[in-house]
Chain A
Amino acid sequence: AQSVAQPEDQVNVAEGNPLTVKCTYSVSGNPYLFWYVQYPNRGLQFLLKYITGDNLVKGSYGFEAEFNKSQTSFHLKKPSALVSDSALYFCAVRDLNYGGATNKLIFGTGTLLAVQP
């Protein structure tokens, strides 16, 4: 079964400092990985995805993620955090049990990022 894990319920970082939100995955085959962000009372917004190619993926709002196959990780990073980055972040993996014929995502439990001014 495919899954993703976000080991931290909350990450606290000071504004201007680099941030990392961790995600590890478990899939059979090549993983299709995604990061989404959710602001209060809003739906999920797509940040970035990894399919194949470069292990460093750049996304929206200055975020990037590093894919590490040996560690089965896909950590989200940003060089300099903003207070406005405070939100709930979800890592997700495409469910490949249907031979690719589905858009179903399997989500992690989410990590609340709190950026202090």
Chain B
Amino acid sequence: KAGVTQTPRYLIKTRGQQVTLSCSPISGHRSVSWYQQTPGQGLQFLFEYFSETQRNKGNFPGRFSGRQFSNSRSEMNVSTLELGDSALYLCASSPEDMDRADNEQFFGPGTRLTVL
């Protein structure tokens, strides 16, 4: 199976702009999670989607939003970009069986966002 894919891989934006990142999970995976990775804050959970519904949301401002489509692909959007939004944004997918707490997550390569 193909792994988790994320597009674009690199992105440069300026303050005040908005950005949309895309994630395609492993075929058959219905759960998609997003994480932000920065040197200062480490890996922080953004949100999780399952069957087009947001199941969980981290402690991020409302400028960060996401959605999931019927084919399980997911997008996240950041509006009114700030310098502090510069980060590696990682998407992860998990198998369909949500009742299993031992599901590992499979991560994509990430999108490196730089805000100037």
Specify whether A and B are partners.
yes
Query: Which residues of A are at the interface with B, using a C-beta cutoff of 8 A?
Result: 32, 34, 36, 41-46, 49, 51, 90, 94-96, 98, 100-110
How near does chain B come to A117, taking the closest CB pair, in angstroms?
27
27 A-B pairs whose Cβ atoms sit less than 8 Å apart in the complex: A34-B104, A43-B6, A43-B109, A43-B110, A44-B90, A46-B105, A46-B106, A46-B107, A49-B104, A94-B101, A94-B102, A98-B55, A98-B56, A100-B99, A101-B98, A101-B99, A102-B48, A103-B31, A103-B33, A103-B92, A103-B94, A103-B103, A103-B105, A104-B33, A108-B42, A109-B42, A110-B42
Q: Check A104 against B56 for contact (C-beta < 8 Å).
A: yes
Query: Which residues of B are at the interface with A, using a C-beta cutoff of 8 A?
Result: 4, 6, 31, 33, 35, 42-43, 45, 48, 55-56, 90, 92, 94, 98-99, 101-110, 112
